[in-house]
A = this chain, B = another copy of it.
C-alpha cells in the first residue's frame, strides 16, 4: 500500500508538502499541487489519520543563522535556501549573529521556542555540548559537531588544490593566502591547509596573512592589501575569499602591477562579485545551489521523519577561469 513517502518520491517533493496538500494547510505552489494530486491518483494513495495529523503542529518556519547578512556568500546561500524551503512549504527566518558568540547563544535560545521547526546554521562559535543539547532539528554548514547533527560542506580540500594548481600553472613563485588561522574548526579552513601544502611541495612560497573570518569590511581589506603589497613587492599571487580577493586585485592595479602577468588572483566562493568586476576574477566556486538543496533535504528529513539522511554531505567544487590568472598550457606536472 502506498505511503505518503511514496507519493512524495513520485511527485519529487518532500513528504510535508504532500501533507500540506492533504490537510489543505499552508501555501503550496499550483504546479506542485498538480504534481502531487497526480501522484496520489496514480498510486491510489489513501491518507491515514497519522499522516493527516503529522504536521498540524508545525510552525512552517525554519531559521538560518549566518555570521553576516551582507557577505555575498551567505546572502546568496540564504537566497537559494529560501527558495528551496518555500518550494517545500516552509518559510525562512534569516538571522545574523555578527559572528558574535553572545549573539549566537541568544538567537539559539530564542529559536528553542515554537517559532521554528528547525535551524540551519552557518555559524559555530558555541561549545559542542550546546549544539548537542539544542532541542530542535539542526543542520550545520561547514562545521562537524557529531554524527547526529548533519553537516553539509564543499570539498574544501579539493578547493585548495585547484587554487594551488592555478598558481603553479600561472608561474607564481610567492603566494599569499588570506585567512583566519584561529578559525580551524570551520571546514573551509581546509582549503588553506591543502593550498599551502601543495605550493610548498612545489617550491613556491606560501604565506598566510591574517584576517578575521567572515568579517565584512571592504575598506579594511583594501588598506591591508596596499600595506602588504607595498611591504613585499615579490608577492605575485593572492588566494582569498571573494571580497578580500577583490581588494587585493584593486590594490595591485593601483600599485601598477600588471594582472595576470606580474600578479595573479584566485578567489574562493565564486559569488557574483567575482564576475561583476571589470576583470573577471579567477575563482574556486562553491556550488551554492547544491549546498542549499542538500541542507534543506537534510533539515526536512529531520523535521518530518526524525531521520538523518547523511551525517556528512560533501559538495563538489570547481575552478572557474577568469582574467586574473593564466590558463593551463597543458602537460604541466606538479607535486600533489
Contact = CB atoms under 8 A, between A and B. Distances in A.
A79 interface: yes
Interface in A67-110: 68-70, 72, 75-76, 78-79, 82-83, 86, 91-96, 98, 102-103, 106-107, 110
A106 B277 contact: no
A110 B96 contact: no
Interface string A258-286: 00000000000000110111110000000
Contacts of A59: 115
Interface in A36-86: 59-61, 68-70, 72, 75-76, 78-79, 82-83, 86
Q: How large is the interface on A (under 10, 10 to 19, 20 to 34, 35 or more residues)?
A: 35 or more
Interface in A94-143: 94-96, 98, 102-103, 106-107, 110, 115
B278 A277 contact: yes
B276 A250 contact: yes
A334 interface: no
Contacts of A79: 68-70, 96
B95 A246 contact: no
Interface of A: 27, 59-61, 68-70, 72, 75-76, 78-79, 82-83, 86, 91-96, 98, 102-103, 106-107, 110, 115, 218-219, 243, 246-247, 249-250, 253, 272-273, 275-279
